[in-house]
Amino acid sequence: MRGGRAPYGKAGALGRRQALRLAGAGLFAATLPARAVRAAGAQDPQPRRGGHLNFAGLAASTADTLDPARFALATDYIRGHMFYDGLVMLDAEMMPHPALAERLESDDLQTWHITLRRGVTFHDGAALTAADVVYSLARHKDPAVGSQQRVIAQEMADIQAVGPLDVRVTLRGPNADFPSMLGIVSFSIVRNGTTDFSQANGTGPYTCTEFTPGVRTSGQRNPDYWRSPAPWLDSVDMIGISDDMSRHNALLSHDVDIIASVNPRLVRLLRTRGFGIMESPVGTYTDLAIRLDEGPGRSQDFVTGMKYLFNREQVRDSVFLGFARMGNDQPIPPEHRYFAADLPQRPFDPDRARFYLRRSGMMETGVPLVCSPAALASVDIAVVLQYAAQQVGLSLPIRRMPADGYWTEYWMKTPMGFGNTNPRPSLDMTFALNFASGAPWNESRWRDPRFDQLLLAARAQRDEAVRRQIYHDMQVMIHEGAGICLPAFTTSLDAFNPRVRGLAPSQAGQLMGFDFLSHVWLDDAAGGAA
């Protein structure tokens, strides 16, 4: 039996969908600064080329893949950034910047013209053309590919090459956030016609020298990389260690230089030994979804009572040891520029909870809290909640399910169950996929026609102020109406040997939005940790 599958199993999925948004208009010009410049930082000495870096992520299994369509975990996303590029890349504030696309333009926000960068070559020497882009995007819609992003890709009604370096994408409806969507690593560009993904043939900063699923991924610096002078490293080895203690031990013993998904409980040890900790404020959250269409959730009073039962400060301080931000029962994290800051924080209020729960007549419901190691920290959050419920006279049994099969067998299928959601590249996608009436992953089955109308209105809206107001109202509606209890947004933690330089936190996901390998360099003068 596998002993070490970390309790935070799906933490590997921390930020597995990134989020970003192109502010306002649909015009996307190449005047934005390339991101590599910022990452170097002001106080850092000049980056130095060379060296070999060992990295250990959280997950390694035979499900590891080089097929962008099948990227599911954080380690997959890192592998994606290592060997491939997208048309768009996201910066630390999740704003889209040009990558393989030089320009991305639209007049009506529905038909988009993509102009590709000139002179980019794949690792096998072939030049990047429009046909590669069409193939890479269109394959997500083919069910046989098994793409993780199929639902999102279906937004693209038509994808055409209109010139050697020009692609036209027609969406199903206007969507100002289309560039952000292309920032998802899964939409990385592969060579036209690729079906064998045992090797990676991308345009990315490293070429693939070894790929053994469940064991190791190795890369060598791509000398022809278009974002030169990046990358700085000569070669990279990437492994996955699912056991928390072993992963940290590997860093402490200098077997590896960087680890992802640091356990908050080991931060103190790593700091005293001189290792660096990077805290990334990603918008990943673990929530309790109370279904509004069955069980006790049919009573609005019950749902309100449950929301008052969450001791959010305790969740933040005891479960995440402070490496989290309090949630307010809506999915937008405090750092986000559209965050509804004036929405009052819902407090932990046992008296009010008892009042609402009694009024709902559901005190004797006996409906269990379904949780799993698959949903980050959900078992611990359930324990905190259960104790609070017990204090107001509500008995909530906990049912901890195996991580194995949790998403298909239990998630969204029980009256009260925990889920874990990573931030999406835009608010539009978050709302459309998780909260709209017909959303495929509407955890609480919340339906509000006004919310659906606002969603469509925001999509076609170019005026930034109006858009902000709409998104604000939508957050308020979720906060009050949906059956989502959202106690906290997690902070992603990575740890590194001090000789690794150039790291900077990003909202887009762990390890600089999974793209750290293009930015880090090794400073052998730094001495190293104890």
Partner 1 sequence: MNARLARLVLRRIGAALCSLLFVVVAIFALTAALPGDVADMLLGQNATPDATQALRHALHLDQPLWLRFMHWCGGMLHGNAGNSLLTGRPVSEMLAPRLYNSLLLAGATTLVAVPLALVLGLACATWRDSVFDRVMTVLTLGIVSVPAFLIATVSVFVFAVQFRVVPALSDIRSIHSVGQFFLTFAMPVATLASITMAQMIRMIRACMIDVFSAPYMEMAVIKGVPPVRIMLHHALPNAIGPVANAIALSLSSLLGGVVVIETIFNYPGLAQLMVDSVMSRDVPIIQACTLLFCMTYLFLTTLADIVALASVPKGRGA
Partner 2 sequence: MSGMTTGFRALRLPSLTPAQRVMGLFGFWLVLAVCGPFFAPYAPGQIIDTEVFAPLSHRHWLGTDYLGRDLGSRLLYAVRYTVLICTLSTAFSCGCGILLGIATTATPAWMEQVAGRLMDGILSIPSLLCALLVIAAFGDSLLALVLTLGVIYTPGAYRTSRALALRIARMDYITVAVARGEGALFIIWREILPNMRGPLLADVGLRFIYAVLLLSNLSFLGLGVQPPLVDLGSLVRENVLGLVYGSGAVILPTIVIGVLTVGINLVLDGTSRR
What residues make contact with partner 2 under the rule CB under 8 A?
A: 1-3, 5, 7, 244-245, 263, 265-266, 268-269, 314, 317-319, 321, 372-373, 379-380, 382-384, 386-387, 390, 397-405, 409
**179/434 Cα distance (integer angstroms):** 20
Q: CA torsion angle for 233, 227, 511, 524 (degrees, to 10)?
A: 30
- Other beta carbons within 10 angstroms of residue 245's beta carbon come to 12
CA distances from 287 to 19, 20, 159, 403, 419 (A): 19, 22, 36, 16, 5
> What is the smallest separation between the CB atom of 206 and partner 1, expressed in angstroms?
18
User: Does position 266 bind partner 1 by CB under 8 A?
Assistant: no
Binding marks (x or -) toward partner 1, 437..456, rule CB under 8 A?
A: ---xx---------------
Instruction: Tell me how far, at minimum, the Cβ of 297 lies from partner 1, in Å.
Output: 21
Phi/psi at 137 (nearest 5 deg)?
A: -80, -40
Query: Which backbone phi and psi does 317 adopt, to 5 degrees?
Result: -85, -35
Of partner 2, partner 1, none, which one sits near residue 109, judging by CB under 5 to 8 A according to partner kind?
Answer: none
CB of 269 to partner 1, least distance (A): 10
Closest CA to 495 of 267, 334, 239, 197: 267
Instruction: Tell me how far, at minimum, the Cβ of 6 lies from partner 1, in Å.
Output: 10
Residue 173 interacting partner from partner 1, partner 2, none (CB closer than 5 to 8 Å by kind): none
Least gap, CB of 1 to partner 2 (angstroms)? 5
Whether the Cβ atoms of residue 501 and residue 227 lie closer than 8 Å to each other = no
Measured from the CB atom, the residue of 46 and 253 that comes closer to partner 2 is: 253
**Which of partner 1, partner 2, none interacts with 192 (beta carbon under 5 to 8 A by kind)?**
none
Nearer to partner 2, 370 or 503 (CB): 370
Q: Yes or no: say if 516 and 290 are a contact pair by the CB < 8 Å rule.
A: no
CA distance 114 to 104: 5
Q: Nearer to partner 2 by C-beta: 405 or 440?
A: 405
Taking the complex as a whole, how short is the minimal distance between the CB of residue 46 and partner 2, in angstroms? 36
In the bound state with partner 2, the residue whose beta carbon lies nearer, of 156 and 388, is 388
From 19-27, 404-412, 468-476, 501-509, span contacting partner 1 (CB under 8 A):
404-412
Q: Which does 384 bind (CB under 5 to 8 A by kind): partner 2, partner 1, none?
A: partner 2
* Residue (of 181, 63, 173, 27) closest to 111 by Cα position: 173
> Among residues 140, 126, 156, which one has the least CA distance to residue 71?
140
Q: Can residue 146 be called a binding residue for partner 1 (CB under 8 A)?
A: yes
- Taking the complex as a whole, the smallest distance from the CB of residue 498 to partner 2 amounts, in Å, to 19
Residue number, 143 or 193, with CB nearest to partner 1: 143
As beta bridge partners, residue 416 has 290
Angle at 452 between CA 292 and CA 419, to 5 degrees: 45
Give yes or no for residue 409 binding partner 1 (CB under 8 A).
yes
Q: What angle do CA 123, 124, 128 make, to 5 degrees?
A: 70
41 binds partner 1 (CB under 8 A): no
What's the min distance (Å) between Cβ of 333 and partner 2? 23
Contact predicate 14/509, CB 8 Å: yes
Between residues 121 and 249, which has the closer beta carbon with respect to partner 1?
249
Residue 405 contacts partner 1 per CB under 8 A: yes
What is the Cβ-side half-sphere exposure of residue 395, based on CA atoms within 13 angstroms? 3
- Quick one: 8 or 187, whose CB is closer to partner 2? 8
Binding part of the chain for partner 1, among 74-82, 108-116, 242-250, 363-371 by CB under 8 A, reads 242-250
Q: Is 407 in the site for partner 1 (CB under 8 A)?
A: yes
Identified binder of partner 1 from the candidate list 34, 105, 115, 150, rule CB under 8 A: 150
**Are 247 and 259 a contacting pair, CB within 8 Å?**
yes
Residue from 313, 396, 303, 297 nearest 347 by CA:
313
Among 178, 206, 323, 411, binds partner 1 (CB under 8 A): 411
Buried b (16+ CB within 10 A) or exposed e, 355-377: bbbeebebbebebbbbbbbbbbb
**Looking only at residues 54 through 113 of this chain, which bind partner 1 when binding is defined by CB under 8 A?**
61-63, 65, 70, 72
Concatenating the DSSP letter of every residue in 450-468 gives HHHHHHHHHHT---HHHHH
Contact residues for partner 1, defined by CB under 8 A: 1-5, 13, 61-63, 65, 70, 72, 143-144, 146-151, 198, 212-215, 239, 241-243, 245-246, 249-250, 252-256, 404-405, 407-409, 411, 420, 440-441
